[in-house]
Chains A and B, each alone.
Chain A
Amino acid sequence: MDCQAVQNLILGLPDPRELSPTLRAHVLECQACSAWAKQAARLESLLAQLPVPPAPSEKKEAMLEELTSSGPVITRVPTVRPDHTGVWLDAAGRVLRKNTAYIGGLAAAILLVIGIYWLWPNKQTPPVAEATQDHPLLKNLVAHDIALARASTPAKRFEILGGMADDLAVETRGMARIASADELKRMAGWYQKVVNEGIIQQAKDEANRHMMTDAEKKNVFGALAAKLETDANEAERMMAESPQEAQPALKRMAETAREGHKTLRTLFASLASWVGDQAPSPPPAPLTADDRIRLLKANGQLIDNLVNQSIELSRAGDSENRAIACRKTAQLLAAAAEVAATKQEAERVAVLTRLFHKVVRDGLIPTLGDWKRGVPPESPSALRLAALRNEVPNDVINLKSAIPTSGAVGENPNVRDALAQLDELTDKLMTKE
């Protein structure tokens, strides 16, 4: 049993001093978890001993006195009478007196607003539209990650990786005339990673594992080889049309694609014909050049992380590892949303929260279901599954808690919609199968 899971389970118990037989069995055998359990038990005991000073006045006694003396039944909270000496009114009176300045100021402000509205009834300032934060590459990568989490065969995973490489190639070429050298270098790096670590490395592994039939290999690798050849040709064509600072990145892309194409052909040279299946590339998003640069800067690190995560997903051999990797993708998006919330970027919060929702709903939850169907109950894997299922709602709740419910972010309608979607997730995750 995974020690981290055990330690989390202990902290999630109603009382960490009362372990279930399964947890106890592990704790008895594992030194680290045994120390952890002892610390958790001691913490629980110390919490019960926290000191509390006595109340400063005798309001309890006064209230009891009032209640037990004869008199009419109280059916409402008494209103404030400043000079009343009754114990019960002191608290209400104090609250009102303390807040008189605020109440007065608030009333004046309301009157002022109403006055201004009457004087200028037609003056309406349209809300300033927040710049879009919806980078198409981000959305596509997330969609690919969901598909990778659900992909149950190597053939499907290769197809998805091919689509991912396509998107990165198109985006890089699209930015070649407008982005800086550093930005293009970064994008070419993503493309290189997906091709080399995702497609080519795993194709080499496949050549040894033989998990795919010859027909599958012909279709899948034929299509991939053709895509890579096209990418190389397109990158070389762009070099002739792009400024100097774009040259190194495009050259890198072209070399990666050529090398990848050559490797695939070499690896599967026994397959007689190549299917030149050229799936149409998605059209570039209708964004201005400034928008594209801005969005690239805003999402660069996140895309970096998502590309890495995609590679990991594509390598995950079973539903357990896919679920774990898928959860990490969701956590990346949640972390980015939390950062956006601290920066008051409401639209970005909404976009990232929706993407998080999509990954969990369409990727993680179904993959957890696959995992559950494949494991015997009470097995170690079933226990790991149970531990992960217990933790995943925490990710949703963590994200919800990090998003303010008021202010520029909390009052944004898209953020509110996104938060409502998270509620749906909690229900789904809590459904006992």
Chain B
Amino acid sequence: MDRLIPPSELPDCRVTREPEPPLPDEEAEWIRAAQAGDRSAFARLVERYWDRLYRWLYHLARDRHTAEDLTQETFLKALAAVKTFRAGSNFRAWVFRIGHNNFVNQKRSERRTKHQLPEDAVAPEGNSAELSAENREAVETVSQAVSELPTDFRAALLLRVYEGLSFREIAKALHTTEETARWRVFKARQKLMKVLSPELLPPGAVSEEIKE
């Protein structure tokens, strides 16, 4: 039976294990300090968000070199602009928005084919035996389908899934309206459901994933 893989059992190809969410006061304190010029405080923010931003940008750009460059560029710009960040607003959405802007700018200046696969994509079967063959295949299929989504849909969907951002926060990150953000997530899921429905529920499988 397929099960949700808990973070502690994720194979090594995953960039990060999800850190404990920061206490809101703690992060606010780091931001205040960074705005006052404390570089080590900004370093904590980088540590907290770098891997998450890189993961998201990787799925947008579908290339790890580009994703890394974009992540670096994002934090450079964030550092330069940290004094303009409005205390009390969502720092994560702010950083992701800068990242998204960088991605859009980069896309405009470079041509990529629509279905270019990253040269160094890591297939699940290259990793540990914890993943069942069935789950590996399902993840691979989903991964391919996600890479073929329109970029806007992909961006919104993964902010929702990975970061758990609300639709309002997704809208801020992507510089659009909340309704558009909600619609993009909806459309992304709808497209994936259409493409993947034969793979999503193996015959006879019983899913326990609907939460009580």
Q: A43-B192, A48-B162, A52-B59 are in contact. Are A17 and B39 (CB under 8 A)?
A: no
A42 and B201 within 8 A (CB)? yes
B193: A residues at CB distance < 8 A: 11, 36, 39-40, 43
CA gap between A35 and B210 in the complex, in Å: 11
Give the residues in chain B near A87, CB-CB below 8 Å.
72
In the complex, residue of chain B having the shortest beta-carbon distance to the beta carbon of A395:
B183
B80–A75 touching, CB < 8 Å: yes
By a CB distance below 8 angstroms, the chain B residues around A60 are 46, 50-51, 54, 71-72
Chain A min CB distance to B124 (Å): 6
B109 surroundings in chain A (CB, below 8 A): 95, 98-99, 102
- B142 pairs with A46, CB closer than 8 A: yes
Q: Is the CB of B80 within 8 A of A76?
A: yes
What chain B residues lie within 8 Å of A59 (beta carbons)?
68-69, 71-72
Contacting residues of chain A (387-433) with chain B, CB-CB under 8 angstroms: 393-394, 397, 401, 426, 430
A393, B118: Cα distance in complex, Å: 35
- Interface members, chain B 33-47 (any A CB < 8 Å): 37, 39-40, 42-43, 46-47
Q: Which of A39, A45, A87: most chain B Cβ within 10 A? A: A45
Indicate the size class of the contact surface on chain A: 35 or more
Asked whether, in the complex, the Cβ of B46 is within 8 Å of the Cβ of A47, the reply is: no
Contact at A55–B67, with CB atoms within 8 Å? yes
Q: Secondary structure of the A side of the interface?
A: helix
Known: A14-B160, A43-B142, A46-B138. A53 touches B13 (CB 8 A): yes
Q: Which residues of A contact B190 (CB under 8 A)?
A: 8, 11
**What is the CA–CA distance of A123 and B122 in the complex, to the nearest angstrom?**
59
Write the nearest CB–CB distance from A425 to chain B, whole angstroms.
11
What residues of chain B have their CB less than 8 Å away from a CB belonging to chain A? 2, 4-5, 10-11, 13-15, 37, 39-40, 42-43, 46-47, 50-51, 54-55, 58-59, 64-65, 67-69, 71-73, 75-77, 79-80, 83, 109-110, 118, 120-124, 127, 135, 138-139, 142-143, 146, 152, 157-158, 160-162, 166-167, 177, 179-180, 182-183, 185-187, 189-190, 192-193, 196-197, 200-201, 207, 209-211
**Chain A contact residues, CB within 8 Å of chain B:** 8, 11-12, 14, 16-19, 24, 27, 35-57, 59-60, 63-64, 67-68, 71, 73-78, 87-88, 91-92, 94-95, 98-99, 102, 393-394, 397, 401, 426, 430
Q: Name the 10 nearest CB pairs between A and B, nearest first.
A: A67-B43, A73-B37, A39-B200, A41-B209, A38-B207, A55-B68, A11-B189, A46-B142, A67-B39, A47-B161
